Structure 1
Amino acid sequence: MPELVPPTVRLHRAWLDARAEWGPGQHEDGFGLSASDEVDSPEGFADWVGRLAAQADPARTIAVGRHRCTYRWIVERDRVLGAIALRDGDDDYVRWAGHIGYGIRPSARGRGLAAWALRRMLDEARALGLDRVLAVCVAGNLASARTIERCGGVPETGTGPARRYWIAL
Structure 2
Amino acid sequence: MVNEAADARIRLIQPTVRLHQAFLDCAFEFGSGHRDGFATDSISDVELADPESFAAWVATRVSYADEAIELPPDRVHDTLSWIIDGREPERILGSISLRHRLNDFLLQVGGHIGYGVRPTSRRQGVATAALGLALDQARSLGLQRVLVTCAKDNVPSACTIEHWGGDLEDVRETPDHGMVRRYWIDLIQR
1:9 maps onto 2:17 in alignment: yes
Looking at structure 2, the residues matched to 157 and 35 of structure 1 have their Cα atoms a distance apart, in angstroms, of 29
Q: Among 99, 104, 109, which residue is 1:92 paired with?
A: 104
Q: Among 106, 118, 140, which residue is 2:153 paired with?
A: 140
Runs of 4+ aligned structure 1 residues displaced above 2 Å come to: 63-66, 157-160
Letter of the 2:11 partner, please give it: E
1:112 maps onto 2:120 in alignment: no
Residues 66-116 of structure 1: per-residue CA shift (max 9 Å, x gap): 421001101132101001110011312321310000000000000111110
- Structure 1: which 5+ residue stretches go unaligned? none
Residues 137-165 of structure 1: per-residue CA shift (max 9 Å, x gap): 01110000000000110101344300000
Q: Paired residue for 2:6?
A: none
Contact persistence 2:171–2:180 (CA under 8 A): no
- Structure 2: which 5+ residue stretches go unaligned? 1-8, 174-178
Residues 75-90 of structure 1: pairs in structure 2 closer than 5 A: 75-76=84-85, 77=88, 78-90=90-102
Number of equivalenced pairs: 167
Q: Shift of the alpha carbon at 1:4?
A: 1.0
Looking at structure 2, the residues matched to 83 and 90 of structure 1 have their Cα atoms a distance apart, in angstroms, of 19
Looking at structure 2, the residues matched to 74 and 157 of structure 1 have their Cα atoms a distance apart, in angstroms, of 28
RMSD, matched Cα: 1.5
**Partner-residue secondary structure (3-state), 1:33:** coil
When the two structures are superposed, what TM-score results if normalisation uses the length of structure 2? Answer: 0.83
Letter of the 1:156 partner, please give it: E
Contact persistence 2:170–2:183 (CA under 8 A): no
Q: Among 27, 32, 39, which residue is 2:39 paired with?
A: 32
Contact persistence 1:68–1:88 (CA under 8 A): yes
